[in-house]
Amino acid sequence: MSSVDDCTVLFRALPGHVTFSARERRTLTNFARSLAHRVLDRRFFTCLITGDSELRRLNRTFLAHDYPTDVLSFPTTDFSGSLGEIAISAHRAHAQSAAFGHSRLDEVRILMLHGVLHLAGMDHERDSGEMARAE
For residue 47, give the 3-state DSSP assignment.
strand
Q: Is the pLDDT of residue 131 over 60?
A: no
Question: Residue 67 and residue 54: Cα distance in Å, rounded?
Answer: 10
Q: Is the pLDDT of residue 135 over 60?
A: no
- Please give the model's pTM, rounded to 2 decimal places: 0.84
Residues 6+ apart with CB under 8 A from 1: 81
pLDDT in tens, 102-119: 999 999 999 999 999 888
pLDDT in tens, 54-84: 999 999 999 999 999 999 999 887 767 788 9
How many whole angstroms from its chain centre is CA 43? 15
Smallest Cα–Cα separation from 58: which of 86, 29, 18? Answer: 86
